[in-house]
Amino acid sequence: MSKEMLEAFRVLEEEKHINKADIIDAVTESLKAAYKRRYGQSESCAIEFDEKTADFKVFTVREVVDEVFDSRLEISLKDALKISSAYELGDKIRFEESVNEFGRVAAQSAKQTIMEKMRRQMREITYNEYKEHEGEIMTGTVERFDQRFIYVNLGSLEAQLSHQDQIAGERFKSHDMIDVYVYKVENNPKGVNVFVSRSHPEFIKRIMEREIPEVFDGTVEIMSVAREAGDRTKVAVRSHNPNVDAIGTIVGRGGSNIKKVVSNFHPKRIDPKTGVEIPVEENIDVIQWVEDPAEFIYNAIAPAEVDMVLFDDEDSKRATVVVPDNKLSLAIGRRGQNVRLAAHLTGYRIDIKSASEYEKIEAEKAKAIEEAALEASEELAEDLAENIAELAEDLTNQEAQETSDEQETAAE
């Protein structure tokens, strides 16, 4: 029995990471609970674990009394003296009990307790393992599909890749090896859920760190990423070495670095002429990050030219960008994509205006100001004329009063 018990402890500790003390506690509590179910009480029950023999022993403690009312809690002085002539009233005597009658129930209960503890502990271990990879890329195997997810085996569990986290047009088969970005790990009573993505902007950043040494070692830093997966991405970069060109490093000689990054994605579209699926490259615009927000926005609107960037006095995160008339559609982009990505990249809400539209708005503002000023001037002139008339009337009345006063004085 002792060898089997010790071996069970070893397996649970080394392979399942369940501490021996936790197992002993579980068995002890189970034995107490089984004893109580069998005899209706557990106040007199004491459980001990023998480290040498690896056996559990159950004892009842009975008090020596004159008259016995509960044989599970008490023993008569007469019977106690048969055991030892040294016993007196009030002494406590321990009796070892046989566990045969309730041991089976206790063992089953202990097993359930240990299994539940093991499940919780394994869930915690799994959670901690994958929580460490949150914000990183992991490689997994496509296992199965349903209407909501592609399930990707990452080793000890299946991660969930939702439709919105997939690159539009990408197709996978079972057992395909794919890279995924771990963006959220949840621990709940039913298990650990790992949510992964291939469309997340940070996925691009991690791929660049992996493929471009200068990004990995921090010489070139990726400051922000705006992405519409499978179509177009804008990446803002800066160099921490004056001798290293950030944009040139990301692009690589002849676009070699960008090609390595894009090769990690393989979306496809249907060619309307042939009806055949053809691969589509995700376009990546590399933008120079600068601290000055106006210049950063200017860079982010590329490839369109920018005449000026104006900030809203009432909203610190809103900007108006004025572009030449012939660059308006380029600045806005197909279905608003260029300005939308620029806004995500810079963190500003951007309104695009053509130069002629802006001039018209400014002219209307100037006209409105002029009209308001003219109206104010006319009102001022009217007020002034009224005031002068009132003043003249007051002076006339004052002179008349003074003349009357002088005449009255002379008459007296």
**SS3 letters for the chain?**
CHHHHHHHHHHHHHCCCCCHHHHHHHHHHHHHHHHHHHHCCCCCEEEEEECCCCEEEEEEEEEEECCCCCCCCEEEHHHHHHHCCCCCCCCEEEEEECCHHHHHHHHHHHHHHHHHHHHHHHHHHHHHHHHCCCCCEEEEEEEEECCCEEEEECCCCEEEEEHHHCCCCCCCCCCCEEEEEEEEEEEECCEEEEEEECCCHHHHHHHHHHHCHHHHCCCEEEEEEEEECCCEEEEEEEECCCCCCHHHHHHCHHHHHHHHHHCCCCCEEECCCCCCEEECCCEEEEEECCCCHHHHHHHHCCCCCCCEEEECCCCCCEEEEEECHHHHHHHHCHHHHHHHHHHHHHCCEEEEEEHHHHHHHHHHHHHHHHHHHHHHHHHHHHHHHHHHHHHHHHHHHHHHHHHHHHHHHHHC
Enumerate the β-bridge partners of residue 149.
Answer: 162
Same structural domain for residues 328 and 393? Answer: yes
Which sign does the torsion angle of CA 65, 70, 72, 76 carry? positive
137 and 27 in a common domain: no
**Within-domain flag for 97:** yes
Residues 270 and 326 in one domain: no
Asked if residue 99 and residue 12 are part of one domain, the reply reads: yes
Residues in the chain: 412
For residue 406, being part of any structural domain is answered with yes
pLDDT of residue 288: 96
Q: What letter represents residue 405's amino acid? A: D
CATH number of the domain that residue 139 is part of = 2.40.50.140
pLDDT of residue 399: 62
The total of structural domains in the chain comes to 4
Residue 137, pLDDT score: 96
Residue 17 belongs to domain with CATH number: 3.30.1480.10
Residue 4: per-residue pLDDT: 64
Domain boundary among 254, 289, 324: 289
- What pLDDT is attached to residue 233? 95
Residue 207 counted as domain residue:
no
* Same domain, residue pair 78 and 8: yes
Pair 14, 105 in one domain: yes
Position 361 in a domain? yes
Q: Which of 85, 119, 153 is the last residue before a domain boundary?
A: 119
Whether residues 225 and 155 fall in one domain: no
Q: Residue 202: what pLDDT?
A: 95
Report in angstroms the alpha-carbon separations of 234 from 204, 255, 289, 299: 10, 15, 11, 11
The predicted structure's pLDDT at residue 403? 64
Are 297 and 408 members of one domain? yes
Residue that finishes a domain, picked among 93, 119, 145:
119
Residue 311 and residue 195 in contact, taking contact as beta carbons nearer than 8 Å? no
The CATH number assigned to the domain holding 302 equals 3.30.300.20
Here the contacts of 44-52 (C-beta below 8 Å, separation 24 or greater) are: 44/72, 44/73, 45/97, 46/94, 49/24, 52/2
337 and 262 part of one domain:
no
Is the same domain home to 52 and 104?
A: yes
**At what angle are helices 293-300 and 337-346 packed, to 10 degrees?**
150
pTM > 0.75: yes or no: no
pLDDT tens-place values along the chain, 412 residues long: 456 666 777 777 776 667 778 778 877 787 777 777 777 776 778 888 877 777 778 888 888 998 888 887 888 988 888 888 888 999 988 888 776 666 676 667 766 777 777 778 778 888 999 999 999 999 999 999 998 999 999 988 999 999 999 998 888 999 999 999 999 999 988 889 999 999 999 999 999 999 999 999 999 999 999 999 989 999 999 999 999 999 999 999 999 999 999 988 888 777 778 878 777 788 999 999 999 999 999 999 999 999 999 998 888 899 999 999 999 999 999 999 999 999 999 999 999 999 988 888 777 776 667 666 666 666 666 666 677 767 666 667 666 666 666 566 665 5
- Distance separating alpha carbons of residues 318 and 21, to the nearest angstrom: 61
Q: In what order do the strands lie in the sheet with 318-323?
A: 308-311, 318-323, 349-354
- C-alpha closest to that of 56 among 119, 125, 116, 110: 110
Residue type, 215: V
Residue 376: the pLDDT is: 67
Sign for the pseudo-dihedral over CA of 312, 318, 323, 326: negative
Is 124 within the bounds of a domain? no
pLDDT for residue 1? 45
Q: How far is CA 127 from the centre of its chain?
A: 15
Claim to verify: residue 33 and residue 137 sit in the same structural domain: no
Which residue range forms the structural domain that includes residue 362?
Answer: 293-412
Same domain for 408 and 297? yes
